[in-house]
A and B are shown apart, each in its own frame.
Chain A
Amino acid sequence: MFVLPADALPDFGELLAAWRERGIHVTTLINDGALPDVKALLADTDTTDAVLLAGSARRAPATVVGGPLVADRSGRRVPVAWLPLTCRENNRRFAATAARVQRRVREQPAVAVLGQWQPRYLRVADRIEALLAPYLHTLRWTGDVLGRDDTVRSLGSGLGLAMYVGHGRPVGWVGYHGVRAHHFETAWAEPATRGEPLGAMLSLCCRTASRRRVGLSYAEALPLLGVAAASFGAVGDTLHTDNTRWAIGLCDALAGGAQTVGELIARGAPASPTASSSYRLIGDPMAPLCGTLRGLARAARVTTYP
């Protein structure tokens, strides 16, 4: 289900076409008034796999929906994503990015494991790697083995998923001496260094989807800049224990074969209500997590510090 204002509809033609090509049946709901209550939208259905709610960027992720999952009529948890509409250029860039990711050949699931260079986060990264290693390729790009510029460039290899653990702020990650959206904008700007978008970028840390003292949060900026088809971040402070719960749940969901970011979030969400409601999904909830072999080969060539 795609909810958006009528005047924005032409900007998303490419994404609607890509969804259709993938066999995804999309119900477009034109909404020019106040954003609808998603709970009410889903109360009458049990066949919706995901909802993308697009609306004025004056609304913050924290206020458009209560969390990344909303129960439908049957009690099934449906992933709900938010897309802030800022300008036509950003709408079209996001649509082109998400369409490109949808149309990519799905050959190889791989995860970039990112983390701040601090023992507690490196330990979580170790555990994520250990849990995922038997099931899919992992690329260890934590702050102790890769610097900021190399990390930003490497994330443009064309992988399906990247997962960050560490401290976070509304402007970006604290790890890697600070990563902001503009670092991607700069590094990916030239045709020679243009990155291939990620399927999804997950930030298991505080506040990357918070609007506190920022025009647009880091988690919102990434899909609009074309860095990823979807991103996942917290709207406030989070507990390390809750983020660890998320990490374990997401690893189990990946090991269990989750195919899209929405499915991953729905299957991996922890039982803790606060852990779940702290986060928001931004961008395409149907973004696939599988990348191309070429993308994985590019990522595997990244040189890390020993």
Chain B
Amino acid sequence: MNESLLTFLRGELRAIKPALPEVLPADAHYRIELDLDSLDLVELVARIEQRYGVFVPDADLPQFSSLEATVRYISARLPA
């Protein structure tokens, strides 16, 4: 797994929702386990887009279900 991307995502999630638990497992479900709502998710995606210059269509948002799913999605779209 792309560790720098994972670290970035954890940092952004904490900035978006400071009340998140200390430990953020990579497989924790955003909505069910981390209690993120749609605005939190769009903000996370906006920050990913700004940082990595990738564009995430709204239709792909359901794929962003956890940190590991997000890393998988973004890694596949980053230039090699």
Q: Within 8 Å of chain A (Cβ to Cβ): is B42?
A: yes
Q: Which residue in A239, A244, A271 is a CB contact (below 8 Å) of B43?
A: A244
User: How many angstroms between the C-alpha atoms of A244 and B39 in the bound complex?
Assistant: 8
User: In the complex, are the beta carbons of B43 and A241 less than 8 A apart?
Assistant: no
Interface of B is mostly: helix
Check A270/B39 contact, CB under 8 A, given A239-B58, A241-B61.
no
Contact with A along B38-55 (1 / 0, CB 8 A): 110011011101100111
CB pair A272 B55 closer than 8 Å: yes
| Candidates B38, B50, B55; contact of A252 at CB < 8 Å | B50
- Give CA–CA (A273, B49) in the complex, Å: 12
Closest to B38 in A: A241
Interface residues in B7-48 (C-beta closer than 8 Å to A): 37-39, 42-43, 45-47
The closest CB in chain A to the CB of B37 belongs to A123
CB distance from A154 to the nearest CB of B (A): 26
B58 touches A270 (CB 8 A): no
Find the residue from A120, A127, A239, A248 having the highest chain B CB count within 10 A: A248
Residues of chain B within 8 A (CB-CB) of A233 are none
- Given A241-B61, A271-B49, A271-B50, are A248 and B55 neighbors across the interface (CB < 8 Å)? no
B61 contacts across to A, CB distance below 8 A: 241
> Are A241 and B58 also in contact (CB < 8 A) when A124-B39, A127-B39 are?
yes
Contact of A249 with B by CB under 8 A: yes
Which positions in B face A, CB cutoff 8 Å? 37-39, 42-43, 45-47, 49-50, 53-55, 58, 61
